[in-house]
Structure 1
Amino acid sequence: MISAWAVEAVARLDAERERTPATPLRRFPLPDGWQVRLWLKDESTQPTGSLKHRLARALFRQAIASGRIAEGTTVVEATGGAMAVAQAHFARLLGLPYIAVMPEKSSGEGVERLGGTCRHVDPPLAIYGEAEKLAEEVGGHYLDHYAAAAAVDWHGGDLAEELFGQVAECPHWVVVDPENSAYFPGWASGAADYSTGMPSRIEGIGRPRMEPGFVPDLVDLVVPVPDAASVAAARRVRQDTGLPVGAATGTNLWGALELITRMRAQHVRGDVVTVIGDADPRHLRTCHDDAWAESRGLDWRPHATRLERLLDHGEPW
């Protein structure tokens, strides 16, 4: 039997979805004559400012509908960054305690601002076991979005459904992966348990292990992107849109341009869509800051020159 609280909680989540407008498609300028259009699906306009907002809402809804989250349940997650902020937002909306277990170097400022609690652990891979243990200790629910994402019931409001209503033709797709992430080598080798054990330097993208939510058989192409190229491309997005995007958006742009180059070589016309994952002034202190990049050994300048030659002068990629 579904409780009155669960009915009300699901109604709140559905109402939040209904009043959230579709995120815009922004045309990214490409040289004349390419016969390919590149669109940026701007998820930074979500209420919590990132791509993770949709998934966080769907995860809460599914966990409540299935009885795993009830009134007063402490919600625990192993994550940092934008996903933790989005989940903290929905926990506050529903009046639920929220704890994010995150790597030692992750900032929990956004979570704490929304009333959540952060627990930092080291090494980074320890977040999973610690979150599961903590949820058991407090009698809470470990949301485990990396495992749940593959089977989540979006119940409307998912990005793909919205996107297909905005573009005239089905776009080509691309998956990108930064350095230190397990997805590209795991996908290429067929090793479902591949692990690098190393955290990504690009916030919001890349994992040290193959997560259950990643389904390799659905992926046609994975483009590994150097971290310095992600920084350069994030700066290019800011130059052309004015948005202070994160380096993960730069990773997306670089991968999209790799795909467009392949399309042009094969004389394929069409639309390519990639995502602005978030855009926040905090990125001005990271990937858009020369001192930050240099302190991490990321020489973005050669990649910026390559982007300039391609996009401004139409030279070969």
Structure 2
Amino acid sequence: MSIAAELLPSPSSGREWVHGALECLAQEAARSADTHLLKLDLPAFPGIDIYLKDESAHPSGSLKHRLARSLFLYALCNGRLHAGQTVVDASSGSTAISEAWFARLLGLPFIAVMPAGTAPGKVRDVQALGGRCDLVDDPAEVLAAANAHAARGACFLDQFGLAERATDWRGNNNIAESILGQMARERSPEPAWIVCSAGTGGTSATIGRFIRYHRTCCTRTRLAVVDPEGSVFAEHWETGREDLTARGSRIEGIGRPRVEPSFQRHVIDRMIPVSDKDSFAAARKVSAELGKRVGPSTGTNMVGVLTLADEMAAAGQQGSIVSLICDSGERYLDTLYDDAWFANQGN
């Protein structure tokens, strides 16, 4: 049990335990510094400034730290999470790691329902935080498996169903507010584009809504979402069809084999399909430029950034583009950063 959990009221105290858990999460948020905004100098694009917000710097190592905190708060404030209750979610890795981190903080058991092909490093990270991994052979069945755990009494955090409503998109130190605040002193403080990928759709919904709501500081900012192979999001954005299915993405944490409730297509200005080969290559290239390894979804983001930078340069436009480092490449030493594995991907 964590030190923080030892300070919580006893499980028998009901509402007092919930109040203690909420205070514990508030203290964690207050202790957490903002993540760095890194400037990437690319001489091929003079007049176009490119920035990457390093979400791998969170205590649980990824962008999903923000989401996990929000999901726990949402479950607590809606009366769905109680003292001693097992917590479960369906995740290919980064969300599960962040949720396991928060579950340990609150002294709660945690189960991550994951596709069997999830990077071994991510499985080990969940287990190191005290979580249990339920590996499912068919990625399309992870939600059903998570619901089965919920039927036995677990609190299902449901990142795919609740991400866009659990996060406050108006402000409250969300990622969009953080980006715009950090850009304030840059040469082009209002980004032409913010580029992100979508797994749950929560991040894209938060950013898209924020830049509309805060119209005075985001008059020209547009949101582009990159989508990997095997995902339905790009086609759904184009057609509006809700019944789409696909094989699922090989880029862990992003793309989905079905349309998820948290994906809000109407707040997205542009969708950019990205091949797996380009995602893997871009991630390794960005890692070399930054001197630190980044995960494959960051590579997907970077392909979108370069696509938009090319278009801006061709049109004679200047400005800034902001994207995200979603997680650390250290979680992919068995895959993306294994040279034999990388060579087998057609690179």
TM-score with structure 1 setting the length: 0.89
Q: What is residue 14 of structure 1 aligned with on the other side? A: 26
Could you tell me which of 155, 161, 183 is aligned with 1:147? 161
Shift of residue 92, structure 1, vs aligned partner: 0.6
1:87 aligns with 2:99: yes
Q: Provide the secondary structure at the position in 2 that maps to 1:245.
A: coil
Matches within 5 A, 1:206-285: 206-285=255-334
Separation in 1 of the partners of 2:77 and 2:144?
25
Could you tell me which of 185, 210, 219 is aligned with 2:235? 185
Deviations 1:152-200 (A, max 9, x none): 144723111111110022221221011111111221222123210x131
Pairwise CA RMSD: 1.7
The code of the aligned residue for 2:173 comes to G
Deviations 1:134-154 (A, max 9, x none): 1111x1211111110111144
User: Which has the higher mean CA deviation after the structures are superposed, 101-110 or 175-184?
Assistant: 101-110
Q: What is residue 346 of structure 2 aligned with on the other side? A: 299
Deviations 1:47-91 (A, max 9, x none): 011011100001101110111111112111111211100000000
Shift of residue 290, structure 1, vs aligned partner: 2.6
Shift of residue 130, structure 1, vs aligned partner: 1.3
Q: What is residue 159 of structure 1 aligned with on the other side? A: 175
Shift of residue 2, structure 1, vs aligned partner: 7.7
Matched residue pairs, number? 296
Moved >4 Å (runs of 4+): none
The answer to whether the Cα contact below 8 Å between 2:92 and 2:252 also exists between their aligned partners in 1 is no
User: Which has the higher mean CA deviation after the structures are superposed, 98-107 or 239-248?
Assistant: 98-107
The answer to whether the Cα contact below 8 Å between 2:47 and 2:318 also exists between their aligned partners in 1 is yes
Separation in 2 of the partners of 1:232 and 1:163?
26
Shift of residue 125, structure 1, vs aligned partner: 0.8
The code of the aligned residue for 1:135 comes to A
Shift of residue 33, structure 1, vs aligned partner: 6.2
User: Which has the higher mean CA deviation after the structures are superposed, 110-119 or 275-284?
Assistant: 275-284
Q: What is residue 121 of structure 1 aligned with on the other side? A: 136
Q: Provide the secondary structure at the position in 1 that maps to 2:114.
A: strand
User: Which has the higher mean CA deviation after the structures are superposed, 257-266 or 285-294?
Assistant: 285-294
Unaligned runs of 5+ in 1: 301-317
TM-score with structure 2 setting the length: 0.82
Identity of aligned residues (%): 42
The code of the aligned residue for 1:207 comes to R
